[in-house]
C-alpha cells in the first residue's frame, strides 16, 4: 500500500510499548517531584489519632542517642547486644525529641513552612546513612581499643548492618508500644468525656492509663511472666545434677550416707559443691606431704523451713564432721542459685593441706538477678542466721584451740556476708579475716568504706584508714601493698574489685548522675573514650553485666585465681611462700579454665 505525503513526512508512529514507557517515566518523574516537594506524610486533620510519620526533631535526637550508645563502656560487647542498646537508647531519644518538639510548637508562634520542612527531611535522608556508617566504624575502633586494654584478641566482628537492623527493630517495637498506649489513653479520655467534664476526663484517663501500664508491667509482664518463667527454669535446674557430679561417700561432706542432709536436698549447686570435693591424694600431689580430707557442709534450701532451723542444722553437721577441730573454719555466702566459687574454696584447702572446713547455706535457687529483685533481704537474713549460729558455737571452743574463723563471698554473696555484720568493727571483732570478691553497688559495708576512703585515692582503688585492716585489689601482687610501707594489721579484709567490673558499678543512679568511677584517673583497664550520658550509660552498664564474663581475669566480673593471693595475706599458713602462691594459682587456672562465650557466668 502506498503512503501518503503526510505519512511520509511524519515518519513511523511510536509503538504501544514506547508510549507506555514514556508514560511510566512521566509518572515516575511526577512522583519524584512530589516526594521532593513533600518527603513526609501529612495527616489530613488534627483530629486523627494516628500520626503515621515520625517527628523530624525526634528522629534527630534518636539518631544522636544511637550515636551515644555506640561509645564504649566497661567491657567489650558483642554486636547483637550493641543493637539492643542502640534500639533502647534511640527510643528514649525519640521520646525526648518528641516532647521537645511538642513543647516548641506550643511555645513558639513561628512554625517552619512546607519548603523548609521538605529540605530538612531531605537533608536528614541524605546525611543520616553515611553518618551512621561512620559512627559504627568508629565504634568498632573503640571496641578494639577496649579489647586491647583487657587483654583480648584485637579481632572483632562488628556487623554494622545487623546492629542497625536490630536497633531499628527494637526502637520500632518500643515506639509502637508507646503509640498503642497513647491511643488507648486518648480513647479512654473520650469515653470518660461522655460522663464527666473534659478536664476531669483527661486527669482520670492519664491516671488510669498510668496505673494500667505500671501495674500491668510489674504484675503481669514481670512478676507473672519473666519471674515466673525464671522460677520454673531455676527450679528444674535445682532438681538436676550436673554431668560428672557423683554422690560423695566421705563422711566429712554433706550429702554422704553419714550426713544429716540428704543428697536430694542439697540442690544443684550443693551437689556440685560436695560432689566435687578435693581428695586427699589431689591435695598431697600439690603439697608433697600427707594431707587431710576437707570438710564441706552445705545446707540446701529443701533441707529446712526457717533460716534459724537451717543454721542450727549447719552447726550440727559441722559438729558431726569435726569441723571445729580444723585449722580454718570458713563461712561462705552464696549467690542466688546457691553457687560458691570452687576456686576460692580450693585455694584455702590446698594452702592448709585439707585441714579446713567450709560451711554455707542456700537461701534461693533463682539466678542472681532475680534473687536480687525478690530475695534481696532473704539473702542477708539467711547468711546472718548462719554466721551468728556458727560464731556462737565457735566461741564455745577453748580460745587456744579454736580454728581461724573467716568469711567470704562473691558477687551477690558479698552483700549477704556484709548484711551479717553491723559494721566493719563488728566484722573485725568476730572473725579472723574476710575475702569479698566483686561486691555489688548495694553492698552496705563496701559503700560505706568507699564513701569514707582516704583523700586522693580513686573510687576503683580506695584506701581506707591507711590500709590498716582493709585493702582493695585488682592486681593483688601490687595493689595489696598499697599504701606502700603502711602497717597491715590483723584481722585483714580484702576486696577483690576490678575497675572494669559492671557488677561493682551498676546502679539506678546511672540514669541521671555521673558516677565517680568515671573521674580521672580512670581505672587501668577502662578506656579514656568512655563517658557518661543520661539514660545511655545506665543501659550500657546493664548490658555490660550480661557480658561481664567475656573478658579474662582480672577484668570484667572475672577474678580467676586471685583469691589465692588474697588468702595468702589474710591467713597465710606457716611457711607459705610467694613461690607457693604462684604454683597454686597456676594449678587452679588449669583446674577451672574460664568458660567460653559472652555470658558464661556460673551464677
pLDDT tens-digit profile of 200-243?
Answer: 888 888 888 888 877 777 666 665 666 667 667 777 888 899 99
Mean pLDDT of 294-305: 95
What is the tens place of the pLDDT at every residue in 490-532?
A: 999 999 999 999 999 999 999 999 999 999 999 999 998 899 9
Mean pLDDT of 334-352: 94
Average pLDDT along the chain: 86
Q: Which residue has the higher pLDDT, 375 or 243?
A: 243
Supply the pLDDT for residue 326: 97
pLDDT category of residue 154 using cuts at 50, 70 and 90: confident
CA distance 23 to 18: 9
Identify the H or E element spanning 297.
Answer: strand 295-299
Q: Which residue has the higher pLDDT, 150 or 569?
A: 569
Cis-peptide into 483, omega within 30 deg: yes
**Cα–Cα distances in Å, from 362 out to 302, 321, 382?**
9, 19, 8
**C-alpha cell, 84:** 539492643
CA distance 431 to 330: 10
Among 180-184, 235-239, 291-295, 343-347, the least confident range: 235-239
Please report, to the nearest 10 degrees, the dihedral formed by the alpha carbons of residues 386, 387, 388, 392 taken in order.
100
pLDDT category of residue 467 using cuts at 50, 70 and 90: very high
Mean pLDDT of 457-464: 95
Look-up: residue for cell 501500664?
A: 213
Whose CA is closest to 456, among 482, 438, 476? 482
Residue 92 has pLDDT above 80, yes or no: yes
What is the tens place of the pLDDT at every residue in 59-82?
A: 889 999 999 999 998 998 888 889
Supply the pLDDT for residue 239: 86
CA distance 301 to 311: 11
Supply the pLDDT for residue 546: 83
Cβ atoms of 380 and 360 closer than 8 Å: no
Sheet of strand 470-473, all strands in order from the earlier edge strand to the far edge? 295-299, 356-361, 328-332, 404-410, 433-437, 492-496, 470-473
Whose CA is closest to 101, among 88, 79, 86, 120? 120
Residue 6 has pLDDT above 50, yes or no: no
Mean pLDDT of 323-329: 97
Q: How far is residue 321 CA from its own chain's centroid? A: 38
pLDDT category of residue 26 using cuts at 50, 70 and 90: low
Which 3 state secondary structure label does DSSP give 187? helix
CA distance 61 to 401: 68
Q: Which residue has the higher pLDDT, 19 or 61?
A: 61
Supply the pLDDT for residue 31: 64
Q: How many residues does the chain have?
A: 603
Cβ atoms of 245 and 378 closer than 8 Å: no
Cβ atoms of 457 and 579 closer than 8 Å: no
Residue 5 has pLDDT above 50, yes or no: no
Supply the pLDDT for residue 598: 41
Percent of the chain with pLDDT over 90: 54
Supply the pLDDT for residue 282: 96
Among 271-280, 370-379, 444-453, the least confident range: 370-379
Identify the H or E element spanning 299.
Answer: strand 295-299
Mean pLDDT of 28-52: 58
CA angle 321, 324, 329 (to 5 degrees): 100
Cβ atoms of 413 and 332 closer than 8 Å: yes
Whose CA is closest to 417, among 451, 386, 389? 386
CA distance 196 to 501: 55
Supply the pLDDT for residue 579: 96
Residues 300-336 as b/e (b if ≥16 CB within 10 A, e otherwise) read bbbbbeebeebbbbbbbbbebbebbebbbbbbbbbbb
Among 209-213, 220-224, 339-343, 412-416, the least confident range: 220-224
Supply the pLDDT for residue 104: 82
pLDDT category of residue 368 using cuts at 50, 70 and 90: low
Whose CA is closest to 601, among 469, 502, 519? 502
Residue 199 has pLDDT above 80, yes or no: yes
CA angle 92, 96, 101 (to 5 degrees): 145
Percent of the chain as helix, strand, coil, to the nearest 5:
55, 5, 40
Identify any residues that bridge with 407 across adjacent strands, giving them in sequence order. Answer: 331, 434
pLDDT category of residue 599 using cuts at 50, 70 and 90: very low
**C-alpha cell, 382:** 539467711
Mean pLDDT of 414-436: 96
Mean pLDDT of 351-378: 82
Supply the pLDDT for residue 369: 62
Among 175-179, 329-333, 341-345, the least confident range: 175-179
Whose CA is closest to 75, among 558, 585, 589? 558
Supply the pLDDT for residue 13: 56
Amino acid at each position: 500500500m502506498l503512503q501518503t505525503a503526510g505519512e511520509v513526512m511524519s515518519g513511523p508512529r511510536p509503538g504501544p510499548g514506547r508510549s507506555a514507557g514514556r508514560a511510566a517515566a512521566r509518572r515516575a518523574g511526577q512522583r519524584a517531584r512530589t516526594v521532593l516537594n513533600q518527603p513526609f506524610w501529612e495527616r489530613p486533620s488534627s483530629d486523627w489519632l494516628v500520626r503515621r510519620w515520625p517527628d523530624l526533631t525526634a528522629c534527630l535526637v534518636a539518631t544522636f542517642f544511637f550515636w551515644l550508645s555506640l561509645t564504649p563502656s566497661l567491657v567489650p560487647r558483642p554486636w547483637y547486644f550493641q543493637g539492643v542498646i542502640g534500639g533502647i537508647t534511640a527510643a528514649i531519644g525519640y521520646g525526648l525529641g518528641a516532647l521537645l518538639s511538642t513543647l516548641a510548637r506550643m511555645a513558639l508562634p513561628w512554625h517552619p513552612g512546607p519548603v523548609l520542612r521538605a529540605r530538612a527531611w531531605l537533608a536528614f535522608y541524605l546525611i543520616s546513612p553515611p553518618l551512621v556508617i561512620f559512627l559504627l566504624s568508629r565504634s568498632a575502633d573503640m571496641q578494639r581499643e577496649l579489647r586491647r586494654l583487657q587483654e583480648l584478641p584485637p579481632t572483632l566482628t562488628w556487623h554494622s548492618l545487623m546492629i542497625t537492623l536490630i536497633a531499628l527493630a527494637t526502637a520500632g517495637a518500643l515506639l509502637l508500644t508507646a503509640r498503642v498506649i497513647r491511643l488507648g489513653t486518648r480513647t479512654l479520655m473520650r469515653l470518660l468525656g461522655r460522663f464527666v467534664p473534659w478536664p476531669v476526663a483527661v486527669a482520670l484517663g492519664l491516671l488510669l492509663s498510668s496505673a494500667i501500664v505500671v501495674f500491668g508491667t510489674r504484675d503481669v509482664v514481670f512478676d507473672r511472666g519473666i519471674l515466673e518463667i525464671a522460677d520454673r527454669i531455676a527450679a528444674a535446674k535445682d532438681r538436676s545434677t550436673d554431668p560428672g557430679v557423683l554422690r560423695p561417700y566421705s563422711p566429712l561432706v554433706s550429702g554422704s550416707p553419714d550426713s544429716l542432709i540428704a543428697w536430694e536436698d542439697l540442690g544443684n549447686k550443693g551437689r556440685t559443691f560436695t560432689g566435687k570435693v578435693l581428695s586427699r591424694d589431689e591435695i598431697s600431689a600439690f603439697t608433697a606431704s600427707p594431707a587431710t580430707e576437707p570438710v564441706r557442709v552445705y545446707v540446701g534450701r529443701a533441707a529446712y523451713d526457717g533460716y534459724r532451723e537451717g543454721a542450727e542444722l549447719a552447726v550440727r553437721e559441722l559438729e558431726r564432721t569435726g569441723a571445729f577441730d580444723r585449722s580454718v573454719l570458713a563461712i561462705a555466702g552464696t549467690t542466688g542459685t546457691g553457687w560458691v566459687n570452687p576456686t576460692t574454696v580450693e585455694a584455702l584447702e590446698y594452702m592448709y593441706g585439707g585441714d579446713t572446713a567450709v560451711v554455707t547455706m542456700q537461701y534461693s535457687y533463682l539466678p542472681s538477678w532475680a534473687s536480687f529483685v525478690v530475695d534481696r533481704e532473704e539473702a542477708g537474713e539467711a547468711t546472718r542466721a548462719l554466721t551468728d549460729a556458727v560464731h556462737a558455737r565457735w566461741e564455745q571452743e577453748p580460745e587456744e584451740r579454736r580454728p581461724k574463723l573467716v568469711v567470704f563471698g562473691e558477687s551477690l554473696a558479698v552483700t549477704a556476708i556484709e548484711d551479717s555484720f553491723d559494721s566493719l568493727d563488728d566484722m573485725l571483732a568476730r572473725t579472723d579475716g574476710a575475702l569479698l570478691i566483686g561486691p555489688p553497688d548495694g553492698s552496705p559495708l563496701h559503700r560505706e568504706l568507699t564513701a569514707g576512703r582516704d583523700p586522693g585515692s580513686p573510687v576503683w582503688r580506695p584506701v581506707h584508714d591507711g590500709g590498716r585492716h582493709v585493702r582493695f585489689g585488682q592486681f593483688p601482687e601490687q595493689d595489696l601493698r598499697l599504701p606502700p610501707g603502711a602497717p597491715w594489721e590483723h584481722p585483714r579484709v580484702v576486696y577483690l574489685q576490678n575497675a572494669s567490673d559492671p557488677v561493682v558499678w551498676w546502679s539506678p543512679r546511672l540514669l541521671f548522675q555521673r558516677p565517680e568511677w568515671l573521674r580521672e584517673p580512670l581505672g587501668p583497664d577502662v578506656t579514656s573514650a568512655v563517658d557518661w550520658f543520661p539514660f545511655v550509660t545506665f543501659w550500657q552498664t546493664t548490658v555490660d553485666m550480661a557480658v561481664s564474663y567475656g573478658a579474662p581475669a582480672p577484668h570484667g566480673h572475672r577474678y580467676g585465681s586471685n583469691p589465692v593471693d588474697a588468702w595468702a595475706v589474710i591467713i597465710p599458713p606457716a611457711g607459705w611462700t610467694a613461690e607457693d602462691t604462684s604454683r597454686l594459682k597456676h594449678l587452679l587456672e588449669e583446674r577451672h579454665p574460664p568458660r567460653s562465650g559472652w555470658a558464661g557466668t556460673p551464677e
